A and B are shown apart, each in its own frame.
Chain A
Amino acid sequence: MSSPQRPGTKRKSLLRVSLLAPASVATCVLVLQAHTAAQDYLIEESTDYTSNGCESDGIGDVNAVTSSLRTALEADSWSGNRFLNPNSWPHDVIEACASSYGIGGTTPNGLDSTFADTRTLVVFAGHGNQGRLTFGFPHNGSNCRVYMEPNMRLGSMAGNDAAYGMWLSSITLKVSALPDGPNWQWLRQQFGFNNSPSIGANEPRDFFNATSSADNSDAWLNQMDGNGREPVVLTHSTTESACWALHDSARLKADVTLTPRPGGPACEAGQPAFYHCYEWIDL
Chain B
Amino acid sequence: MTSRKRHSEADVTHLVRMFSRRFALVLVLSAGCGRASSEADTAAVAAGLQTAALTKAAVHHPALTADEAANRGERLVSVLLGRSLGAEESLGTFRSKVSRAPSADAAVDGLSHVKLHYREGGYLTVTNAEVAHDRDPGTSDIGEAGARARFKEVFASLVDAGLVQGAGYDPQNATMGRVRAGAAPLGQVAVEFTKEYRFYLKQKLGSVEVTEGEIQLGLNRSGLLAMIRVGGPRATPTAEPAQRSPAVSIASLDQRFAREFPNAQLVSSGLKYRIGADRGQGILEPEQAYEYVPHVRLANGEVEVGRKMTVYYSVAAPDAKGIIDPQPDPNATGDAR
- Determine the distance from Cα of A82 to Cα of B133 in the docked complex, in whole angstroms: 33
In-complex Cβ contact of B135 among A59, A230, A244 (8 A): A244
Inter-chain CA distance A129–B2, complex, in Å, is 31
Q: Which of B4, B180, B325, B330 has the most CB of A within 10 A?
A: B330
Q: Contact between A170 and B183 (Cβ–Cβ < 8 Å)?
A: no
Contacts of A31 in B (CB 8 A): none
Residues of chain A from 59 to 81 with CB closer than 8 A to chain B in the complex: 59-64, 67, 81
Contact indicator B127/A214 (Cβ below 8 Å) = yes
Could you tell me if B2 and A240 are in contact, using CB atoms closer than 8 angstroms?
A: yes
Taking CB atoms, residues of chain A closer than 8 Å to B106 are: 213
- Kindly identify which residue among A1, A230, A274, A280 contacts B186, using a CB–CB cutoff of 8 Å: A274
CA distance A201 to B119 in the complex (A): 13
Does B21 lie at the interface of the complex (its beta carbon under 8 Å from any beta carbon of A)?
no
Q: Which residue of B is nearest A43, CB measured?
A: B334
Count of A-B contacts judged by CB separation below 8 Å: 226
On chain B, the residues within 8 Å of A49 by CB distance are: 306, 330
Give how many B residues have a beta carbon under 8 Å from the other chain's beta carbons: 76
- A40 at the binding interface (Cβ < 8 Å): no
A197→B307 CA distance, assembly (Å) = 5
Is the interface on chain A under 10, 10 to 19, 20 to 34, or 35 or more residues? Answer: 35 or more
Residue of B nearest to A206 (CB): B119
Contact B332 A67 (CB under 8 A): yes
Q: Mark B209-221, 1 if CB is under 8 A from A, else 0.
A: 0000010101000
Which one, A63, A129, A279, contacts B304 given CB within 8 A? A129
* Given A278-B181, A280-B180, residue A127 in contact with residue B306 (CB < 8 A): yes
Question: By CB atoms of chain B within 10 A, which of A50, A129, A201, A222 has the most?
Answer: A222
Task: Report if A198-B2 is in contact (Cβ < 8 Å); known contacts: A45-B334, A59-B294.
Answer: no
Chain B residues within 8 Å of A, Cβ to Cβ: 1-4, 103, 105-107, 115-117, 119-120, 125, 127, 129, 132-133, 135, 175, 177-190, 192, 195, 198, 200, 214, 216, 218, 227, 229, 263, 267-268, 277, 291, 293-296, 298-299, 302-310, 325-337
